[in-house]
Chain A
């Protein structure tokens, strides 16, 4: 770590002001991504603005939507009975992120702002057609992600909440990277107010993406068999020591099929 100044504001306006005043200032949520980055000296912020006292935690469930505060931990989402009743697939996803320690610290806002190409939540946000609420605007999922580790968030813009419309059915199926246990391939399938949508994380070179061919097939026939034979071209997929692009392409098919089966 390099030395930095530390602030813990008690309202969103002050946090936004502190972050806006200095282009080298950075927000800290659960620290599960950011602190390792600091420890490895890959980032040198001047000021760290701790978001933990902004009152951004909590889950609200209405008849049509589940809204999760930006600082809500994966653990809290995974253990919310109300959210489970509304969107079981989303709650299961939260329970599969990292390990207990990570889930107790990591937050939905941090995960989405970070947009790790292997993160889990990104797929749910995209497949469910969620809306990302920030201190200044509402951003539809389809416009939020801008390539791996990049989003349309402006410097100092904070995710305050994420609103998920409640689908008729949805599910997430994850194939873990054997080493990191992030998603090597994760597929979220949903049938809901925003239509039939399939989002794939872990596999794409540009981060999370929607799978048009599978969406079309499932719109016509919501069943595991509908996606079983859809081949995903490996061209734009990641390749590393644990999974070639071809293997990932194959896994997308298997995970999608299993996700549809589990969604019911």
Chain B
């Protein structure tokens, strides 16, 4: 590969990073509009309370205050509630409970951080001062934080119209076949496990600016979003009742999302609506404390998993019961996460013939829970890969051998799982063998002994995970309850002098799309990388799009680009045929040149573009001028990245701290455009996975007060908590999209938590530890060592 090569497969440095690291990024909070007012949201400090009255008098009289609105004010003006984008059905076919989600609380506050009123003033300081003068008369109600408390008899009711707090009680798979397999199993292994609640913690807190243009009656919302068109759709249609042509949503540079910026949040509707009411721009910026109590949280599952195994260690059936915390309201995609993004992945990489999963989603007095990096798949991978390790231990079969024995073999693809999905490609043995080698699995006993000599407990663990990306065929998603299509859109505009603007409906908030997509288009059209600009994040520029989440941008958005490039090439061939007096069938396109087959006659794509825009010598009778093509790509299936992660930890026995000393990831992401960016995504995902496994925990007390509401108590991983990761790829191509790409954005966060916990449990095996819930904090590990030492001492 020569130094100048910048096409598919080149580790091109991220072009966007220059502006990010030099302070020239354009983030929402950097923008200030002429005459703008500032909004402060008054939030509930109670987990659960009836709102008896709100007295605005003193606050309205405070200096600089322009307006104060409550939920009732907005409702009276016709503002609707925040919609849920996915409907799930109960076992009996009835729809899930979908209680009202007012933009500002009406009647009751349901979690700490629930927005109750907005104070708008000339300065942020004045709005804050006035918010303190707002008198909210509240009567406390008992708060519920934990899922088992929510469904306990006599529990308080989060929504008066949802008695029992159950949002839905859903299932998937074949119950009878599963029960039958359990009845004849040689072993049944059962494991209870929790998936801890996480706060996403994007580096940039959320921010929104609403504007209203009186001359045209147009609204503009600038917001920290992963999907501006989705926000326009939801806010326009359901909340503010604005037609799309009068509502522009811009998501400029966004500093991280991890899922938390997918959703349509109340503050977006509040500033947009208030800008219209007041006729001036209104800006709101979250501070970090607010983010902890208002950005959707992630995970929070309480599960029981059982595996039926025959005498040779073959998995016969899997039975899973999960209670998932929805928080106080249904966030945009909340309902889909513990169902179609979780239970459908419970086959993992194994040919388990029968699976039955039941998922109960419940309301609690906590921040809404929605997709967070991995969204459902980390929950599935953690459950399954922990369970497999316990099966290995309890059947006495080596954990690597047990996995090998149960893998879906490479020649069984395409493979239909018992839980709806059809995997298109994969080779789990290859990624496993690659990881065993790269991690020197065989050499572990020596490393363990060496650690022991230093007084450390060393453990090794693996996960052979599989996940689903590139959501999703619209028809399938629709049948499963999605209330939108999930295609992606690309518009490639070749300019008259040959440079290119590519408009994509995906959104980059750290992923490096401006580089990856430019490489892709450069490769497809043979136009130099430096001549290609990727444009995203503005509904007034981009035809349409569903945004970035679920590692869909390359697999779906990139495929749309390939389609659009194909159209450019097809049109270019017609122009070239005309210019070179050949037939279209004889025109070949390669490396940016249209040539007549078997001759040395050719035209560059730049010449063709110029000709298309200055059509003096042009087939104007048959062909429109211009070289500008749009494609919508609807995926044919999910993509199925997978791989093997191997983690080694050392535990300080005296104090219980765990250090991740080695980490190896061998993944299968299909086609890779930029290996350096992929490695960065994997490293970042693993950092979050190690964070979940060892450190992070959003803690609510039993009254549903948020205890870990700042970095003083919420344990964010630091650089020194994360080891260097050995990353490699053993790819099999995706068979159903034009790139063969699978997606890599979340895999790190999916594969790593079970590998880490399996390693911790392995390290602690001599103490008889069977399982440890995340995060495996030093305190937890110390208690385990302590309590198992006591009986030993007594012996």
On A, residues with C-beta under 8 Å from B are 1-3, 40-41, 175, 178-181, 240-244, 247, 250-251, 254
Contacts and interface: CB of A to CB of B under 8 A. Distances in A.
B355 to A, nearest CB: 36
**Residue from B289, B777, B779, B783 whose CB has the most chain A CB atoms within 10 Å:** B779
Contacts of A3: 125
A3 B128 CA distance: 12
Nearest to B716: A179
B713 A241 contact: yes
Contact of B777 (A178, A251, A254): A178
Contact of B713 (A180, A250, A251): A180
B778 A250 contact: no
**8 nearest A-B residue pairs (beta carbon):** A179-B715, A180-B712, A178-B715, A254-B654, A247-B779, A179-B713, A241-B699, A243-B779
A250 B711 contact: no
25 contacts: A2-B129, A41-B128, A41-B132, A175-B655, A178-B695, A178-B715, A178-B777, A178-B778, A179-B711, A179-B712, A179-B714, A179-B715, A179-B716, A181-B718, A240-B713, A241-B697, A241-B708, A242-B713, A242-B715, A242-B779, A247-B779, A250-B782, A251-B655, A254-B654, A254-B655
Interface string B766-780: 000000000001110
B707 interface: yes
Nearest to A1: B125
Interface residues of B, number: 25
A259 to B, nearest CB: 13
Contacts of A180: 711-713
A40 B292 CA distance: 14
Nearest to B707: A241
**Residue from A1, A2, A179 whose CB has the most chain B CB atoms within 10 Å:** A179
A44 to B, nearest CB: 11
Nearest to A178: B715
Given A179-B716, A180-B712, A250-B782, 11 more contacts: A41-B128, A41-B132, A178-B777, A179-B713, A179-B715, A241-B697, A241-B707, A241-B708, A241-B713, A244-B779, A247-B782
Contact of B783 (A175, A242, A247): A247
A179 to B, nearest CB: 4
Nearest to B778: A178
Contacts of A178: 695, 715, 777-778
Nearest to B655: A254
B659 to A, nearest CB: 12
A7 B268 CA distance: 40
Contacts of B289: 40
Interface in B672-708: 695, 697, 699, 707-708
Contacts of B128: 41
B590 to A, nearest CB: 53
A18 B9 CA distance: 66
Nearest to A118: B712
A177 B631 CA distance: 53
A179 B783 contact: no
A170 B100 CA distance: 63
A242 B708 CA distance: 10
Contacts of A242: 713, 715, 777, 779
Contacts of B782: 247, 250
Interface string B287-299: 0010000000000
B708 A179 contact: yes
B40 to A, nearest CB: 12
B304 to A, nearest CB: 25
Nearest to A258: B654
A207 B764 CA distance: 34
A40 B711 CA distance: 14
Contacts of B718: 181
A244 B779 CA distance: 8
Nearest to B708: A241
Interface in B312-365: none
Nearest to A243: B779
Contacts of A250: 782, 786
A11 B195 CA distance: 57
Contacts of B654: 254
Nearest to B289: A40
Contacts of B715: 178-179, 242
Contacts of B695: 178
A175 B778 CA distance: 11
A179 B712 CA distance: 6
A175 B712 CA distance: 15
A175 B779 CA distance: 12
Interface in B696-742: 697, 699, 707-708, 711-716, 718
Contacts of B129: 2
A245 to B, nearest CB: 11
A242 B655 CA distance: 13
Nearest to A39: B287
A1 B128 CA distance: 9
Contacts of B777: 178, 242
A242 B777 CA distance: 8
A179 B132 CA distance: 30
Contacts of B778: 178
Nearest to A244: B779
A179 B710 CA distance: 9
Contacts of A2: 129
Contacts of A179: 708, 711-716
Nearest to A250: B782
Interface string B463-495: 000000000000000000000000000000000
Contacts of B708: 179, 241
B73 to A, nearest CB: 26
B781 to A, nearest CB: 10
Nearest to B782: A247
A117 B778 CA distance: 21
Contacts of A244: 779
A94 B659 CA distance: 24
Nearest to B712: A180
A58 to B, nearest CB: 32
Nearest to A179: B715
Nearest to B711: A179
Interface in B115-162: 125, 128-129, 132
B655 to A, nearest CB: 6
A242 B707 CA distance: 11
Nearest to B129: A2
Contacts of A181: 718
**Residue from A2, A41, A244, A250 whose CB has the most chain B CB atoms within 10 Å:** A250
**Residue from B129, B699, B708, B782 whose CB has the most chain A CB atoms within 10 Å:** B782
A179 B696 CA distance: 9
A40 B129 CA distance: 12
Contacts of B711: 179-180
Contacts of B786: 250
Contacts of B132: 41
A247 B782 CA distance: 8
A41 B129 CA distance: 10
A173 B759 CA distance: 28
A3 B124 CA distance: 13
Nearest to A185: B655
Nearest to B721: A178
B429 to A, nearest CB: 38
A71 to B, nearest CB: 25
A251 B699 CA distance: 23
A41 B40 CA distance: 14
A242 B711 CA distance: 13
A40 B287 CA distance: 10
A40 B290 CA distance: 11
Nearest to B132: A41
Contacts of A40: 289
A254 B655 CA distance: 7
**Residue from A178, A243, A254 whose CB has the most chain B CB atoms within 10 Å:** A178
A113 to B, nearest CB: 20
A178 B777 CA distance: 9
A240 B783 CA distance: 15
